[in-house]
Chains A and B, each alone.
Chain A
């Protein structure tokens, strides 16, 4: 079975008011292999994990995460964000093999 990789998702709350601190949830499918395990034939399985995540809001970087393979498979992370303006929120995940995954959602005020 080849594990699926990618499918980055960003979840925003249903209700967003101007100036409120919202809870942003981000999820991506990734095996997060440590490089310490072996396959059925005893060969080492190479390390393959997301090592950096950047968060941009309105084109400005607001957070950056530095990860090791100690983060669980299909990494989930949630963090706060002050919704000061209606603008795109982008998250870029990069893994140790150079693959990048990006997702963008629009922060829109509902009231």
Chain B
């Protein structure tokens, strides 16, 4: 790695952290800090996103757990953000992972993609690249053949819009 790569990377990181700081400041000024007792999976889901989840899953609320979502904390190129989703849930004919859903809170299409799987795959994971309009929560929802929903969410900062 060249030294100028490093300085660019630290610049990009600094920008993102500054943005995060501003966002956090604004939130606390408006007194919107989430109560500590809120259910983990239900934290800070915007109404537009709740609507998308309700349309697809009805009243079944996704729970936290069993899903590993790998996304960068800071995405230098918001047109190509790598996403890797994996789960430890069984992938057998009796009980399998029926689908993996990908949701991005602040994208024009909140429901970004759905991956329908079958026991023939032998495991449940998806690796792809997505576009992000701006910094946002990225959510991976795993749906089992028995109707369970498991979710993992991560905040991804995009730097292209804020700093360039």
Query: Residues of A with Cβ closer than 8 Å to B?
Result: 21, 25, 32, 34, 36, 57, 60-73, 75-82, 84
Contacts and interface: CB of A to CB of B under 8 A. Distances in A.
B101 to A, nearest CB: 9
A81 B124 CA distance: 9
Interface in B52-82: 79-81
A76 B122 contact: no
A60 B120 CA distance: 10
A65 B131 contact: no
From DSSP, what is the main secondary structure of chain A's interface residues?
strand
Nearest to A51: B113
Contacts of A75: 128-129
B115 A82 contact: no
A74 to B, nearest CB: 9
A67 B113 CA distance: 5
B113 A36 contact: no
A70 B130 CA distance: 6
Given A36-B108, A62-B120, A84-B120, 8 more contacts: A65-B113, A70-B109, A70-B113, A71-B113, A71-B128, A72-B128, A76-B129, A80-B123
